[in-house]
Structure 1
Amino acid sequence: MKIAILGAGNMGLSFSKSFLKYELIKPENLHLITRSQTKISKIAEEFPKSKTSTFDEVTELDADLIIIAVKPQDFQTVAQNFRFTLKENQMVLSIMAGINIEKIQKSLKHPLVVRAMPNSPTLLGMGITGYTAADGISFSQLINIERLLNSTGRSVYLEEENLLDGVTALSGSGPAYFYYIIDAMIKAGVEMGIEENLSKLFVKQTMLGAYHLINNSEKNLDELIKDVASKGGTTEAALKTFEENSFKEILQQGILNAEKRAKELNS
């Protein structure tokens, strides 16, 4: 398989590394395309056996799969300025937030589009990606796409495309919410007199341990919370403050606003 990545930024490059790591593609069959001439040398250094180009240089695209990894706000401009024409049998995989399949098909004048929403832990091969496909894409083609996506972590096929905006808000943006909460906890530790690096250690190991408990316990989240929050204790004091300030509702509303923004990106 030959793959071209349109938009060789963080996500495009992390996908490329996963494909190469699991030998799903040969380095010489990978074409990395960026808008920025200044990034070419760095990309070429990182992927010495792969082809690197700027958008302006590409007049013909020799690839079985074209992955669109540009920012959604830039897609329309990029699509209007392509200097190549897609061939009938080429597959397109979009990892842009918000832009739906129909809009991609119209902009590229091409029917074979798969839309996916990964998240940043794909950088470590620990991401999760929701994806869906246009009509007319065969089962074998979809299996090939899934193999590629699974090299970056896990993937989940969604029958309904409109759920991808929710996936964008939940797991696509989700790591940032997680970091935000961790940052607040670390700063609370510092305020209590714990040295910053030590506070980071306590918080990160707590998060890691809690994650493994969720994965290995048969208890639900409410039960796990009750296991920590004894009546009249310290955890109960913290949780009461969260509830009094509607922390859970604020977090949920933030995620819903992220979904709303994902839908706006398509307009």
Structure 2
Amino acid sequence: MKIAIIGAGNMGLSFSKSFLKYELIKPENLHLITRNQSKIQKISEEFPKSKISLFENLNTIDADLIIIAVKPQDFQKTAENIHFSFNENQMILSIMAGIKIEKIQKSLNHSLVVRAMPNSPTLLGMGITGYTSAEGISFNQLMNIERLLNSTGRSVYLENEELLDGVTALSGSGPAYFYYIVDAMIKAGIQMGIDENLSKLFVKQTMLGAYHLINNSEKNLEELIQDVASKGGTTEAALKTFNENQLKEILQNGILNAEKRAKELNG
């Protein structure tokens, strides 16, 4: 398989590294395409055996799969500057937030489109990606896409494309929500007189341990909370403050606003 990636940013390059790590593609069959001349040297050093091109120099793309990894706000300009037709059998995989399959098909005049929403832990091979596809794509073609996506973590196929905006808000943006909470906890530790590095250690290990408990316990989240929150204790005091300030509702509303923004990106 030959793969080309339009948009050699963090996500495009993390996908590339995963494909190569699991030997799903040979380095010489990877083509990385960027708009940024200043990035060419660094990308060439990271991927010495792969083809690196400037977007403006494209006359055609020799690839079975073309991954579009530009920012959604840049897609229309990117599409307008593609001055060639895609081959009938070429597959397009979009990892842009919000841009619907129909818009991609019309903008690129090409029908074989798969739309996916990964998240940043793909950088470590621990991401999760929701994906869906246009009509006319075979089971075998989808399985090839899934194999590639699974090299970056886990993937879930969605029949309903409308759900992908929710996936964008939930898991695509999700890591930032956790970083936000971790940052608040670390800063609370510093306010209590704990050294910053020590506060980071306590919070990060607490998050890691809590994740493993969620993943391995047969108890639901409410039961796990109650296991920590003894009556009249310290945890109960914190949870009381969270509830009085409607923290759960604030977080939920934020995620719903992220979904709303994802829908707006389609234009």
TM-score, normalised to structure 1, is 1.00
Kindly state the Cα deviation for residue 256 of structure 1 after the two structures are TM-superposed.
0.1
Q: Residue by residue, what CA displacement relative to the aligned partner does 1:65-117 show, whole Å, maximum 9, x if unpaired?
A: 00000000000000000133211000000000000000000000000000000
Long gaps (5+) in structure 2? none
Matched residue, 1:205: 205
Distance 1:68 1:169 in 2: 20
The number of residues matched between the two structures is 267
SS at the partner of 2:115? strand
Specify the code of the residue in structure 2 equivalent to 1:83.
H
Matches within 5 A, 1:1-267: 1-267=1-267
The one-letter code matched in structure 1 to 2:263 is K
* SS of equivalent residue, structure 2 residue 155: strand
Contact 1:56 1:83 in 2 (8 A): no
- C-alpha distance in 2 between matches for 1:147 and 1:154: 10
Deviation for aligned residue 1:8: 0.4
Q: Return 190-199 or 51-60, whichever deviates more.
A: 51-60
| CA displacement at 1:57 relative to structure 2 | 1.1
Give secondary structure in 2 for the equivalent of 1:89: coil
TM-score by length of 2: 1.00
> Post-superposition, which runs of at least 4 consecutive aligned residues in structure 1 deviate over 3 A?
none
Aligned to 1:52, the other structure's residue is in SS state strand
Q: Deviations over 1:201-238 (max 9, x none)?
A: 00000000000000110000000000000000000000
Q: Distance in 2 between matches of 1:166 and 1:34?
A: 29
User: 2 CA distance for matches of 1:87 and 1:216?
Assistant: 47
**Contact 1:63–1:90 (Cα < 8 Å) also in 2:** yes
Deviations 1:51-75 (A, max 9, x none): 0001111101100000000000000
More moved, 23-32 vs 82-91: 82-91
Q: Note the alpha carbon deviations across 1:145-188, whole angstroms, 9 max, x for none.
A: 00000000000000000000000000000000000000000000
Q: 8 Å contact 1:132–1:160 — kept in the other structure?
A: yes
Note the aligned Cα RMSD (angstroms): 0.4
Aligned mates of 1:146, 1:84 — CA distance in 2: 27
Unaligned residue ranges in structure 1 (runs of 5+): none
